[in-house]
Homo-oligomer: A and B are copies of this chain.
Amino acid sequence: MIIDIHGHYTTSPEGLMAYRGSQVGQLNNPQKGRLNVSDDQIRDSVQGQIVGQKERGCDVTLFSPLAGGMGHHFGNELTSRYWAETCNELIHRVVTMFPQNFIGVCQLPQTPGISPANCIAELERCVNEFGFVACNLNPDPSGGYWTDPPITDRYWYPFYEKMVELDVPAMIHVSASCNPNFQYTGAHYINGDTTAIMQLIERPQMLKDFPTLRFVIPHGGGAVPYHWSRYRGIAHDMGRGELSDLLLKNVFFDSCVYYQPGMEVLLKAVGVDNVMFATEMIGAIRSKDPQTGDWYDNTKKFIDAIDWLTDADRQKLFEDNAKRVYPRVAAKLK
């Protein structure tokens, strides 16, 4: 079985953006309102993902709302609550219609400066009522200005307590950037990944306080695996010991590295026990590489091409690690 742990609903029907558009006029008085999206529209909208799964030999995708669309900077906490609820309800419809293809992961109603405890109710609803298996946690709800505390701060602890209780991991994933310095998929996303890992190295108390908490760092961990011994050295100089001992019980990486030599670095740096197959399909790049004639984001091909991986390694990368990091995936697939 091949599980893709990183897919966003980037192809949602127009009704979803119309809903978002209606929020613009309600900034001081948000209303839940109603989403106008039909089952037929949903069915049409996910055909690209389903064809992509078949073409690439993938069985099931962990599917969450559009990351760039989370937009936690926009409006107030009610705006974010209604938007997250609506996006998650739409994912629930997708998952209910295509249970063989998709497993739900939720967006959270985060707002800059508002306690993440505010996200607990929606996480519980998505996990307990909808059967979702994880959440996407935005380390920068401001959208490129980084005004909230680091993810290691006690500010986040009430939410982590609920994650531990429900036994669900969080993918640490920023959203759109409002800062003209940071293009989103090439700068803000990758910087968010690098930043999150460095926060864990700098202030590791949080991992001691939550020894069973699990974070998934997307996009192959940003810059970190490429500079692995830079981070090992920084950790040593800070008195943190060996980096793998510090991080790898709690931190896992997806395989969204669209470059063969990069994929090899990822697997060498963090090892096959801490990487999970993922594509972001349909995601950051929508075209084929003219040098290979294949999709840029066909990451399975890069893993297939690594001759030093054993069959046991591949079993971990494609299936077993995901079932270990996301226990609710394992339960669902039984």
Question: Which residues of A approach B to under 8 Å, CB–CB?
Answer: 139-140, 144-146, 148-150, 179-183, 185-187, 190-191, 194-195, 198-199, 201-202, 219-220, 222-223, 225-234, 236-237, 242, 257-259, 261-262, 264-265, 268-269, 284-287, 289-290, 296-297
Contacts and interface: CB of A to CB of B under 8 A. Distances in A.
Most buried by B among A144, A183, A223, A289: A223
Q: What is the copy number of this chain in the assembly?
A: 2
Given A191-B194, A227-B220, A233-B285, A150 B257 contact: no
The 3 A-B residue pairs with the shortest CB-CB distance, nearest first, are A223-B223, A233-B285, A226-B226
Given A146-B181, A285-B237, A286-B237, A186 B265 contact: no
A202 to B, nearest CB: 5
A194 B191 CA distance: 7
A219 B202 CA distance: 19
A174 B183 CA distance: 18
A202 B183 contact: yes
A289 B268 CA distance: 17
Given A198-B183, A233-B284, A236-B287, A190 B227 contact: yes
29 contacts: A149-B180, A181-B195, A183-B199, A186-B198, A186-B230, A190-B223, A191-B191, A191-B195, A194-B223, A220-B227, A223-B223, A225-B226, A225-B262, A226-B265, A227-B258, A228-B259, A228-B261, A229-B258, A229-B259, A230-B257, A230-B285, A230-B296, A232-B296, A233-B285, A233-B297, A236-B290, A242-B290, A261-B269, A262-B269
